[in-house]
Amino acid sequence: MKNKFVQAILVIALGSALVTSCKPKSTGDAVSGDAAQRVYVAPGKYDEFYNFVSGGFSGQMSIYGLPSARLLKVIPIFSVDPESGWGYSEESKPMLNTSEGFVPWDDQHHVELSQTNGEVDGRWIFANANNTPRVARVDLKRFKTAEIIELPNSAGNHSSPFITENTEYVVAGTRFGVPGDYEDGDVPINTYKKNFKAHISFISVDKETGGMDIAFQLRLPGVNFDLSHAGKGKSHGWFFFTCYNSEQANTLLEVNASQNDKDFIMAVNWKKAEEYIKAGKGKMEKARYAHNTWDDETHTGKSVIKEEVLVLDVENLKDVLYLMPCPKSPHGCDVDPTGEYIVGSGKLAALIPVFSFDKMIKAIDKKDFEGDYEGIPVLKYASVLHGEVQKPGLGPLHTEFDGKGNAYSTMFVSSEIVKWDIKTLKVLDRSPTFYSTGHLMIPGGDSRKPFGKYLVAYNKITKDRYLPTGPELTQSAQLFDISGEKMQLLLDFPTIGEPHYAQAAPADLIRNNGQLKIYDIKANKHPRVAKGEKETKVVREGNKVHVYMTMIRSHFSPDNIEGIKVGDDVYFHITNLEQDWDVPHGFSIRRAPTAELLIMPGETATLYWKANKVGIVPFYCTDFCSALHQEMSGYIRVSPAGSNVPISYSLGTNLPASSK
């Protein structure tokens, strides 16, 4: 067994060396002659698609237009962002709260657009945090993070956030088996098989508001979950996960977690789990996790710590989980638009197994098992297999669909995209990528109605593609046209962070869905809003000073403040009075040990500043807003602690020369 593993590793290592040391063959004409024309979007014209791309270790999500690949926006989610002030303003800090306190960074791997009847609906997009397990919901009317919920009993939230076809649930599987949060965690690591467990979280989503809550968790044996997708159509009510480390190894996983010839795809009957929950089989257990929500009326985040979660232990429930053998160390798990075919991607395999949902149901009904794993029935491989795609390439990772009966898979080691027929399993086309492609994205490619036309490959290595920038090169994506029989490479473009998964939808579906252009200042319910310059003021409350400030092209009100003393905690509550689309203003104060604030029209945000040095401190607008942007500034006088200089503030008054 070990010899087979060593051989596989040698093949992959050799393939990687070949791929990264020279270009794949037959790439001279990879880009068609009219590629530039086909990706050109004229000035003033819009792209066809929004492309939402995970930020990987940046913790953010980026948005690109397709086919131009122009970067439109970076949405801060799990990491502080100095450009927008996310995680720096007093209002946004609660959004990054966890049961461990304020966490200013995370590793964001996957994004998932909301769906109705299995079709992308353009309302929300969900994102996962891998390091401190969390799931976020981004509101696509505002392009802003609206909610973040922490996941208890989870360690490494990689297998998420994947949704059911009516967005009933966002589902998350843990990457690492660990003891539960309130179990005795002080156990020897080598007692993995006895003490380590895995949990799958089912997060309910309100159909109208999008509000999230953890409906229940399933407690499972301590395997490692990699990726997942929900069933659709005929397979609605099921969820499918790739899981590895069936050996339950706890050291040197690259060897010890690749001993078995096959790992598994786990099929979860979540409708049956719901029945058990309703029958009282679940148990409320102690937990501690943060649930953070953004209020658009008060422009403020709120964090609530919750203390329990409903857990369903499936150890004795034989009809909730089933395992389908899959080539070792599987990664992607993808379901075709009909819901009939489930594609597994064994990273160490030279084939792609495709499973049949109908065959799976028949095998379950006939109890066609080859045994069990930790009490979970294991279905016979031949009984559930639709077939195998033979010799697709080396290192299959992910698959998406074009809605025309075709599947497209990434080959990490042989650096290519392979197109194949879902029913016949015949390879139809292949195109090189540059290099080592991981995820791929087809607009709507994991829904019941893909939009097709384009495919984007997200590559891990970019040497010789861009101008060099030191030891690390820019992250890379490549755009393909898949509207014809053959794939055609159109464009390379850089991306932020390390993109993993991405999703895309037609621009009109989102752009015309009531997008917010301004915050109505009349509806602003921030507790310290100033809705006009007459409402501005500076108020001392002990050693706390609250500045109620407004901004408008091209001045602050007030712009001269005196009476601040060393040691004061100063809170600038700043309201942008503009009611015009695309006129934000920024605020920064000299030597503030924090970021600036970027405040949208009609919005209020708060910057905290500690006065710690006597002197005159200027502040200014950081976002170029008008021809007189440079003039948009002001001064604060900081006096010694114990000074008798009273609080005063003014706008437009040049005070007479001081006698001092």
Residue 94 token pair: 């609660």
- 449 three-class SS: coil
pLDDT tens digits along 582-596: 999 999 999 899 999
* Predicted local distance difference test score (pLDDT) of residue 12: 44
Residue 453 main-chain phi, psi, to 5 deg: 70, -55
* Predicted local distance difference test score (pLDDT) of residue 254: 82
DSSP string, 222-270: SPEEEEEEE--GGGTTEEEEEEE-TT---S-HHHHTS-SSEEEEEEEEH
Please name the helix (run of DSSP H) or strand (run of DSSP E) that holds residue 455, with its range, or none.
Answer: strand 454-459
Query: Mean of the pLDDT values across residues 389-405?
Result: 96
Name 475's bridge partners: 495
Rg (CA), the chain: 27
Half-sphere exposure of 15 (CA within 13 A, CB side): 21
User: CA–CA separation, 122 vs 116, rounded Å?
Assistant: 10
pLDDT tens digits along 587-623: 999 989 999 999 999 999 999 999 999 999 999 999 9
- 363 three-class SS: helix
Residue 584 token pair: 């934000």
* Predicted local distance difference test score (pLDDT) of residue 618: 98
Query: Mean of the pLDDT values across residues 644-650?
Result: 97
Name 324's bridge partners: 265
* Predicted local distance difference test score (pLDDT) of residue 3: 41
Whether a cis peptide bond, with omega within 30° of 0, leads into 68 is no
pTM for the model: 0.94
For residue 533, which amino acid is it? E
* Predicted local distance difference test score (pLDDT) of residue 486: 97
Whether residue 17 is predicted with pLDDT greater than 70 in this model: the reply is no
**pLDDT-derived band at 347, boundaries 50, 70, 90:** confident
* Predicted local distance difference test score (pLDDT) of residue 656: 63
* Predicted local distance difference test score (pLDDT) of residue 26: 46
Query: Mean of the pLDDT values across residues 225-243?
Result: 96
Name 378's bridge partners: 323, 371
Whether residue 655 is predicted with pLDDT greater than 70 in this model: the reply is no
How far, in Å, are 230, 363, 502 from residue 268 at the CA level? Answer: 9, 15, 24
pLDDT tens digits along 289-344: 999 999 999 999 999 999 999 999 998 788 999 999 999 889 999 999 999 999 99
Q: Report yes or no: 110 and 500 within 8 Å, Cβ to Cβ.
A: yes
pLDDT tens digits along 50-91: 999 999 999 999 999 999 999 999 999 999 999 999 999 999
